[in-house]
Structure 1
Amino acid sequence: MKLEHIVIRRAEFVAGSKTKPEVDVFVQTHAKRMPLNLKKLKPRQIVWMKWTSGPIVAKSKILSWHEGEIKNGDIKYARELTIGTNLFSLDKYWDYVSKKKNCFFVVIRLCEEEWLDKLIYPEIKNNRNSWIYLDTEERKRLWLSNFSPPIIKNESGRNIPAGIRFEVFRRDNFSCIYCGRSAPNVELHIDHKVPWKIVNKHQIDNLVTACKDCNLGKKDKLI
């Protein structure tokens, strides 16, 4: 069995366009040990991208990886390994890591990123780890078998299903429709053109991609 992997990401931090994702890096640190079992990593292995509490939306392949130890808060080498990537909040992340003083890190670079034609809704909903090894047939089945999307019993709830959020982000090229900014410069939100408290539904034609600043600044105004 060829080993594959799952990487779990927050949807609002993902960059990309209609044609492909642009999140070709994964970073993890641990205070006492190497955060991943590097012996399980090989170039060209498939990595599936799952959104937190949502579906698997994309896949890529491992290009390379680097590991090391950060001492006395010196993050220069580790940080340089992520230069040129579009994942939101990496600067804040490295600033946070520098305050840990001493820790181990791994940086995985990915390639051949592509959106899935059909989203995968795993049987497993959540996992405490952000990198998962699909190292058994049962684990692969649980994560990659395409179960039915969750039924929305209360359509008027404020939480927008992750599958709908993906469709809106991708339609809008993962850019704020108001100011044009995109990751890694901003955190992306979903905004209701006609305020939610008026329509009480998450209709895709009423949803748009907005950066955090524009979304919070707009509040319930009609634009």
Structure 2
Amino acid sequence: MSSVKLSVIYYSATGTVHEMAQRLATGAQVAGADVRLRRVAELAPAEAIESNPAWSAHLEATRDVPTATPEDVTWADGVLLGSPTRFGNVASQLKQFLDTLGPAWSRNELSGKAYAGFTSSQTDHGGQESTLLALFNTVYHFGGIIVPPGYTDPLKFEDGNPYGVSHVTGSTNDAPLGKAQLAALDHLASRVVAVAGSLRGQ
């Protein structure tokens, strides 16, 4: 039987969610999946991007990462969605992409797939849980199967997020991913691949 197909679709301004997405893509490949890594289009005005050197540099550094299309979701058996927190909510760039999926939704092409989420914030209580829960509101409408990591592995007691995977970047947005976050990302990737395979009867 063919490999599970997994799309990792994300928005990242200064690079943290991009690094998380890369780790998830690698973990899913190790778990045997055929993986697509896709960023959503940047919507912010040039003056806003240019006002933040890290934002501008990251946008330039990731220009070669393919931009997500609705077909990247309809193709997949499982979808990992990533967004930084924006006032406790999903970044508008990712939300705009999700809002373009209406035609695929109307054709029932988004249901029955495994979905999970990941996020980052500057502070410990910067809206990570509310961002993931808001993200999942869209998945409910798709008829998707949300695959939370829960506490299905002891490592989740270290990263402490049963809703998905999250990271705190600190006020300077440069705190690197730690061992707990990397392990949690690997676990989420393998769990979504396994569940997606079960849903398609593999």
Report the TM-score when normalising by structure 1: 0.24
Q: Answer with 1 or 2: which has the greater Rg.
A: 1
Query: Which protein is richer in strand relative to its size?
Result: 1
Query: Which protein is richer in helix relative to its size?
Result: 2
